[in-house]
Structure 1
Amino acid sequence: MRFRRRERGSEFSTVAHPGALEVGARSVTLPNGITASFAVVGYPREVGAGWLEPLLTYPGRLDVSLHVEPIPQAVAAKQLRRQLARLESASRADAEKGHLQDFSTEAAADDATDLAASLARGHGRLFKTGLYLTLHASDQEQLIAEAERVQALASSLLLDTQPTTFRALQGWTTCLPLASDTLRITRSFDTTALAAAFPFTSPDLAAPVGETAVLYGLNAASSGVVVWDRYAQDNHNSVVLARSGAGKSFFTKLEALRLLYQGVEVAIVDPEDEYARLARAVGGTHLRLGASGVRWNPLDLPANQGGDVLTRRALFLQTLVATMLGSPLTGHARAALDAAVSSAYQAAGITHDPSTWSRPAPLLADLVEALDAGEHGRELASQLMPYVTGSYREIFDGPTSTTPTGHLIVFSLRDLPEELKAVGTLLALDAIWRRVANPRDRRKRLVVVDEAWLLMKEPEGARFLYRMAKAARKHWAGLTVVTQDAADLLGSELGQAIVANAASQILLRQAPQAIHTIGDAFDLTEGERQFLLTAERGQALLIAGPASRAAFHVIASPRETSLITTDPAELAELDRYDPSAPVLSLETPDRSGDDEMDPL
C-alpha cells in the first residue's frame, strides 16, 4: 500500500495511483470507496450483556474496533484513590457554597467506591478500553448520510461519538485488524463492563454456559456467535430435526467432535456408516454390526455393576424379542419368555448370585431351545427361528466377538439388512447404556442416535429410547435424537415425550408437508416457519424454551469439514487427494491398542 500526498504544481496532483490514499480532514478516500472514523468518548452508566449488538448488526458496512489494555493493580488503585478524592472534594465544595446536590457526581462517587472495593477483594480488574467506528461508503454523499444514521444509532445506545477530525488516517488504521490503537482515546472499564462489551454472545439466548460450551455457528441475525453448553441446561438431551440434505448429520458430527476436544465420551448409532472417517481421525472404535465375523450376544451380563443385573437383562430381552417380532408380546408370551430366560441362565450356571455372573453367558440359540422346551413357548420359539437358524442368524451365531471401548464408539448398521436395522439400533443402545449406567465410571457422555425413526417405528424400541431420555441426566449423559422423519417422532406420545425431555432442540430446513406439524409442536412463529422453509444448508434454529431462540449458520474449519462431510462430491475429492487409511475396526481379535485410546 502506498500513500501519496498531493503537491501544488505537481504533474501527478490529479492522478491517483491504484494503491494510493487521499487523506482528508475527516475522511480517507480509498481506491474503491471512502471512509470516516469515529471515536466513542462517552458511555452509558450501566450496560447489559451484548449491548454492542446494535452496532454489530448495522445494515451498512461498519467496522467496530475494541482495543483493550490491562491496567496494573497498583496503578488502578492509585487512580481510583485520586478519583474518589476529586469527587468527594467537589461534593464538599458544593455543600459549603450552598449549591444544589450534583446527583451525577454522587453516582460517580458510589460507582468508584464499589469498584475500589471489588479491586481490593480481587473480584475484578481495570482495563483501558478504546471503542472506535469506521464507516465505509461509495461516495461522499452516501458517507454523510450513513454517518448521520450511525451517530443516531450510537446516541440511542447513550454513546457519545466524535469524528476523528484531522486524524482520519489514524482512525482508519485503528479499526484495521492490526492490534494497534493509534488514537489512544480510552476509558477505564472494569471486568464486568468489559465482558458485557464483547460481542461473543447472543442476546436471544438466556441460558447458562459451563465448561463444555460448543461453538454452534454464527448468529443469522447478527455477527455474533452462538455458543451452547448442553450440560449446563436442565437436562443434557437434544433433538435434531431436518429434511434430507439440510445438514443435520453434519451439525451432529461437528458437535460430537468439539465435545471430544473437551474430554466428553461419545457413543454413536450410525445407520449409514457416515462416522467412519471421524472415528479413524480421532482414534475411536468402529464396530460394524452385520459384517462378516462380527457376533453379538444379547444375553451377555454387564460387568462391574451393582444391583440385580440378571433381572434387568431379562427385562431387556423382552423388549428385544418384541422388536424382533415387530409386535408387542402377549401376556402368555411374556411369561413364557421370562421363564425361558431364567432356564437358559441356570443351564449356563448363572444365578442371582453375583459370583456366577462372570461365567460365559448362554446364546440366543439356548434361549430359543429353552422356549421350545416349554409348553407355552413353542410358538414364540418358532417365530425366533430366523434369528437362530435362518437368514438373520449370523449376528447372533456365537458369543460377542469384542467389547466396545474408547472415547469414541461408533456402531455402524450399514451391513445389516433393513429388517434388522431396528434390532441393531436397540442392541447398540443397550451396549451404550451399560457404559452410561456404570456407577463406577461416571463421566460426561454423549449418546447420538442418528436416523432415530428406525427405532421409533417399533413400539418397544420407542419405549426404550424414552426411558433412556428420562434417565440420561442422572448418569451425566446427554441423548441426541436425530431424524428426518418428524412424523414418526411427533406422531406418538412417546416421541412427543422424548422431545419434551430435550432441553436443546435444533431445527434445520423442513419440508412444506411437515412444517405445520413441527410449527405446532415447537410453537414456532410465522417468521420462524418461513425461515425453516427457506433455510439454506447448514442454517438452523436453536430452541431452548420460549425465551431462548436463536437462528444460526453452522460453521466448521476446513479440517473439520474433511472429517464430517457427507457430500459425495467432497468425499470423492478427498479420496482422490488424501486416500484414507483403513478404519480401526473391532471385527478383529487384535486389541493391543485399547490401552492407548484415552479421551482427547
Structure 2
Amino acid sequence: MSLFSFSNDKPKRQFLNIKSTKIPKSSQDTLAFIEAYENGIFRTAENTYSLIFKIDNIDYRLLRDPEQNNIYRFYQQYLNALPSEVCYQEFLMNIPKNSSKLRKAMIPEYSPKNKEEAEIFKSYTELQEYFIKESEKSSAEKKLIGVLSYTVEGKMDNAEVLLKYYIELQRNLQEMGSNARQLMTMEVFELLYSYYHPFTAENFFIPQKIASRGSSLKDYIAPSSFVFMPTDDYYKMGSAYSRIFYLSVYPNELADKFISDLLDNSYHICVSKHIVHVDKGDAMTLIKKEIFDVEEKIQKRMKDNHKDGTNFIPFKYREQSEELKNLQNQLSSNDTQLFEVSVLVGISAKTLEELDSLTTFVLGKAKNNQVVLKPASANQENAMNSLLPYGVNHLTSKSRSNVSTFLLSDAVGVLIPFSARTYFAENGLNYGLNDATGDVILLDRTEEMNSNGFILGTSGSGKSLFSKLETFETHFKHPKDYEIILVDPEKEYVPLADKLNAQVLKLRPNSPTKLNVFDTNINYIESDGDALTMKSEFIMTMVETAKGQVLTAAEKSMLDKCVKASYHEFMLHDGDEKYLPTLTTLYEILGEQKDTTATDLQKILELYVTGSFNNFAGHTNIESTSNRIIIDISDMGQQLRTVGLQVIFEYLWQRVRQNHQKGIRTVIINDEISSMFLDGNYYANIDSSGQFYQKIFKRIRKYGGYVTGITQNISQVLDSPQARTMLSNASFIVLLQQAEDDLERIKDLFKLSPTHLSCISSGKVGTGIIICGKKIIPFSKALPPVIIKTNALYKLCSTKFNE
C-alpha cells in the first residue's frame, strides 16, 4: 500500500487522492509519476517502479592521471555490473548557492562580553561575509542522483528486486571512493520542486493534512503552469523558460571533462544519462544481424555493378562492415559490454532572451568537445520528463532512434559524472575557499576518525594567521561546550588573551604560578588502572627525566612506596583537597627513609622543591575562571623545560579528563610543536616529553578532545619518531607553502600527486592543501588588501612586521 497515492481508486488506507477534481492536462498531470511509496519507491508507469538515490561526488579532477585511470576503470566496472533488466539513469543538476544557509552556518549567534570583544566579533563577521560573497561567485553546487527503474513482468515478479540491485551498486560506488544514499519520498519531492521552480526564493513546503484542504501533493511540487507548444523548441515552466537538448553526434574520442564543462558554472543546467545494459548474447545476435544486412547490401551492389560494368562499392557500406566486425571482436572480451545510451541536457532562464544566450553558451561547450547537441523540437514535454530523475525515457520510439545510440563500456565510461566535491558541514569551521570549485570549505574535524591535526608551513606561509583564525572561530562558535588551551612557546598567543577572555599561566623559574603534580581525582578509573597507580607512574617518569637516566628497580620501588605514602591522608579523607599532597610531601617522605636510594632520589628532586625550579612543589594556585587558557612557556629555560613539559602535559591530561566528565570538548593548540620533541631523552631510553605527548595524542579522541600542532620545522617533526607517528595518525593536516628541500619527504609521507605538490610550492601566502581523512582539498585563505588594511581581527592575528 502506498503512503501517497495518485490514482482514482479510493482504498481504505489511501492517504489522499490528487485527481478528485481533474482538470484536463493540468500542470500536475505533467509530473511523470503515478504513486510514491513510503519506502521511497516511485511508480512511474503502469508496471514500472523507480528507486532514486544520491551519489557522493569524488574529487576526480584533482586526482593525478593514474588515480583518474583507476576511477575510470572502476566506473566501467560499475556500469558493467548493471543488470540488463533494469534501466539506469544519472541526473546531474546545478543548484544555486544558498547564501542564507551558508551565513547561518558561518556566523554564530554570539554575545560579546565587552566592547573590545564586540569589535573583534564584528571583524570576524566581516571576514566570514567576505568568504560568503566570494563563494557566491563560484560554480553552482552539483547534485548527482542515480535512478534504477524496473518493469514488473508477470505475477511472479516483484519490484523489491530494486533494493537488491541498489545495494550492489552502492557497494561498487564505495570501491570508487563514493557512496550512495537512497532518497526518501519527501527528499525526491524537494528535488523535483527545485527543478520546477528554478528562480523561486521560497523553500519547498508541504503542510499537514493537505487532503482536508482539497489539495494534493503535486499541487505543492508543480509550477503554476506548463506551456508546451508543438512548433517550439522550448517550453515555459511557471515564469521560467526552459529547453531540452539531446546528444545527437558522439565524437570518435570524447574527453572525460565534457559533463563538467557543461556544469562548471552558476547557470541552471541539468544533464541526464539513460543507460541500458544490453545483454551480451542479445548484443552479439544484434551485431551478427547487422553484419549480415550490410554484407547483403554489398553483395546486391556488386551484382548491380556487374550489370553496369562497374566495380564500385559505397564507402559507407565498407565502413559499416568494418566497424561492426570490430565491435564484434571487442564484445568477445569479458570486460567489454554494450549499452544503449541517451544523453539529455536541460537549461532554464528567466527570459527567452536569456535562454537563447544560455543556448549559445551550452552549444559552444558542446562544440569544444566535438559534440553535437540538438533541441528536442516539438517533443519538449517528453524530453523534460526524460531529463528528470524518474528513471524512464519518455521520448517516443520514433524519435529515440536519434536520441539514443549504442556504445561500448569504454565510451560510456568517458561520460564520467564526477568532478569535485562541495564540503559543507553545518557545524564546521571555515577553512577558506576550495581552489577547485570556489566554494567555502566548511569542515567539522570531529566527524573524522580522530580530530587531531597539524598546521605545517614554512616561515611566512600564513600558518599563524590560519591557526589564530581557527582559534577565534572555535571561540565564537563554541563559547561553552569547548575548552581551548593554547601552549605558547614563543608568546605568539599571549597578545590574544584579552580578546579571548583567556587566563594566562606563565611558567618560568621562580614564577608565582604553581602546578601541583599530585593533582588527581581518586575516583577516576581508566583501562590503564586507577588514578593513584597512574599518578605514581607519571611521577616516576618525571623523576627519571630529572635524573637524565633510567631509574633502577630499587629507585622505582622506593618511589612507588613513597608516592602512595604521600597520598595516605588524602585517601583517608576521601579525596578532600585540603589533604592533597605535593612534591614537597614526597620530598619530605623520602627524607624520612633510612635508605641511600631514597637519599639519592631526594637529591634529584631538590632543585624542583627547594631550588629555583619549584614551580611544581606546592599546591596549584591557579583558579581556572575561564575555559580559555594560554600556557606561556617562552621563558621556561632549558633546565626547567625537560621536566616542565611533562608536568604541563600531565596538567593538560587532567583537564581533558575533567572536561570529559562535564561533557565539554577540550581543544589543545600547540604552537611550534616541533620544540616539544627536543629534550633528547628518547635516545637515552627515557620516557621523553615527546613520548608522553604522543600518548595524549593517541588517547584524547576517546575523551572528546583533539590536539593541533603548529610548526614551520617539518623536518624536525619528520626526524622525531614520536612526532612522525603523531603526524601519520592525524586525520587533519593543513599543508601551507613548504620549503623546497622538504617537498620530496612530504610527497612520500602523504602520497601526494604533482597537482597537490604544486599547491604547496606556488609561493602564494595563505594557500595550500587540507588533508582531512581521505579528502585532499586545495584551498586559499588569502585575504584581499582591503581586509588586510582595515580588519581588526586580521591585524590582531597577523605576525607580519609591517602590519
Per the alignment, do residues 241 and 79 of structure 1 end up closer, same or farther by CA in structure 2, a change over 3 Å counting? closer
Whichever residue aligns with residue 298 of structure 1, its letter is V
Deviation at 1:280, TM superposition (A): 0.9
- Matched with 1:583 is none
- Matched with 2:44 is none
Give the secondary-structure state (helix, strand or coil) at the position aligned to 1:513: helix
- Matched with 1:502 is 730
User: Structure 2 CA distance, aligned partners of 1:541 and 1:268?
Assistant: 24
User: Structure 2 CA distance, aligned partners of 1:550 and 1:131?
Assistant: 34
Please, which of 642, 648, 651 is the counterpart of residue 431 of structure 1?
651
Superposition pairs for residues 81-92 of structure 1, below 5 Å? none
Deviation at 1:441, TM superposition (A): 0.6
Deviation at 1:73, TM superposition (A): 4.5
- Matched with 1:548 is 775
User: Structure 2 CA distance, aligned partners of 1:157 and 1:257?
Assistant: 50
Deviation at 1:210, TM superposition (A): 4.2
> What do residues 98-118 of structure 1 show as CA deviations (whole Å, max 9, x unaligned)?
xxxxxx9xxx9x99xxxxxxx
User: Structure 1 CA distance, aligned partners of 2:714 and 2:639?
Assistant: 21
Retained in 2: the 8 A contact 1:272–1:414? yes
Superposition pairs for residues 315-464 of structure 1, below 5 Å? 315-346=537-568, 349-351=569-571, 355-372=574-591, 373=593, 374-393=595-614, 395-438=615-658, 439-458=660-679, 459=682, 460-464=688-692
Per the alignment, do residues 406 and 73 of structure 1 end up closer, same or farther by CA in structure 2, a change over 3 Å counting? same
Please, which of 199, 202, 211 is the counterpart of residue 70 of structure 1?
202
> What do residues 372-401 of structure 1 show as CA deviations (whole Å, max 9, x unaligned)?
5343233333233222233323x2353222
Please, which of 487, 504, 514 is the counterpart of residue 286 of structure 1?
504
- Matched with 2:444 is 229
Deviation at 1:414, TM superposition (A): 1.7
Give the secondary-structure state (helix, strand or coil) at the position aligned to 2:662: coil
Retained in 2: the 8 A contact 1:285–1:408? yes
Give the secondary-structure state (helix, strand or coil) at the position aligned to 1:265: strand
Retained in 1: the 8 A contact 2:674–2:723? no
Q: Structure 1 regions of 5+ residues with no counterpart? A: 1-43, 53-61, 88-103, 112-127, 136-143, 163-186, 192-201, 571-600
Is residue 2:738 matched to residue 1:523? no
Retained in 1: the 8 A contact 2:452–2:732? yes
Per the alignment, do residues 319 and 81 of structure 1 end up closer, same or farther by CA in structure 2, a change over 3 Å counting? same
Deviation at 1:492, TM superposition (A): 4.0
Retained in 2: the 8 A contact 1:442–1:475? no
Please, which of 529, 535, 540 is the counterpart of residue 313 of structure 1?
535
- Matched with 2:710 is 482
Deviation at 1:329, TM superposition (A): 3.6
Deviation at 1:533, TM superposition (A): 3.1
Give the secondary-structure state (helix, strand or coil) at the position aligned to 1:380: helix
Whichever of the two has the greater Rg, that structure is 2
- Matched with 1:566 is 799
User: Structure 1 CA distance, aligned partners of 2:559 and 2:513?
Assistant: 26
Please, which of 237, 240, 246 is the counterpart of residue 455 of structure 2?
240
Retained in 2: the 8 A contact 1:220–1:551? yes
* CA RMSD in angstroms, aligned pairs only: 4.5
User: Structure 1 CA distance, aligned partners of 2:635 and 2:677?
Assistant: 20
User: Structure 2 CA distance, aligned partners of 1:294 and 1:157?
Assistant: 73
> What do residues 251-299 of structure 1 show as CA deviations (whole Å, max 9, x unaligned)?
1221121112221321111112222232211312221122742222212
- Matched with 1:276 is 494
Structure number with greater CO (CA < 8 Å, separation at least 6) is 1
Deviation at 1:316, TM superposition (A): 1.8
Retained in 2: the 8 A contact 1:285–1:405? yes
- Matched with 1:35 is none
Superposition pairs for residues 122-271 of structure 1, below 5 Å? 151-152=364-365, 210-263=425-478, 264-271=482-489
Whichever residue aligns with residue 582 of structure 2, its letter is L
Per the alignment, do residues 71 and 551 of structure 1 end up closer, same or farther by CA in structure 2, a change over 3 Å counting? closer
Give the secondary-structure state (helix, strand or coil) at the position aligned to 2:761: helix
- Matched with 1:98 is none
Retained in 1: the 8 A contact 2:432–2:779? yes
Retained in 2: the 8 A contact 1:452–1:481? yes
Whichever residue aligns with residue 628 of structure 2, its letter is L
Give the secondary-structure state (helix, strand or coil) at the position aligned to 1:533: coil
Please, which of 296, 302, 317 is the counterpart of residue 515 of structure 2?
296
Retained in 2: the 8 A contact 1:421–1:454? no
Q: Structure 2 regions of 5+ residues with no counterpart? A: 1-88, 98-136, 141-197, 207-214, 229-245, 247-269, 274-346, 376-384, 390-417, 683-687
Retained in 1: the 8 A contact 2:767–2:782? no
Q: TM-score, normalised on structure 2?
A: 0.47
Whichever residue aligns with residue 365 of structure 2, its letter is A
Deviation at 1:215, TM superposition (A): 0.6
Aligned length: 431
Deviation at 1:452, TM superposition (A): 1.7
> What do residues 390-416 of structure 1 show as CA deviations (whole Å, max 9, x unaligned)?
3323x2353222133423111111231
Give the secondary-structure state (helix, strand or coil) at the position aligned to 1:445: strand
Give the secondary-structure state (helix, strand or coil) at the position aligned to 1:568: coil
- Matched with 1:535 is 763
Per the alignment, do residues 205 and 73 of structure 1 end up closer, same or farther by CA in structure 2, a change over 3 Å counting? closer
Per the alignment, do residues 536 and 484 of structure 1 end up closer, same or farther by CA in structure 2, a change over 3 Å counting? same
Deviation at 1:568, TM superposition (A): 3.3
User: Structure 2 CA distance, aligned partners of 1:426 and 1:338?
Assistant: 18
Retained in 2: the 8 A contact 1:246–1:538? yes
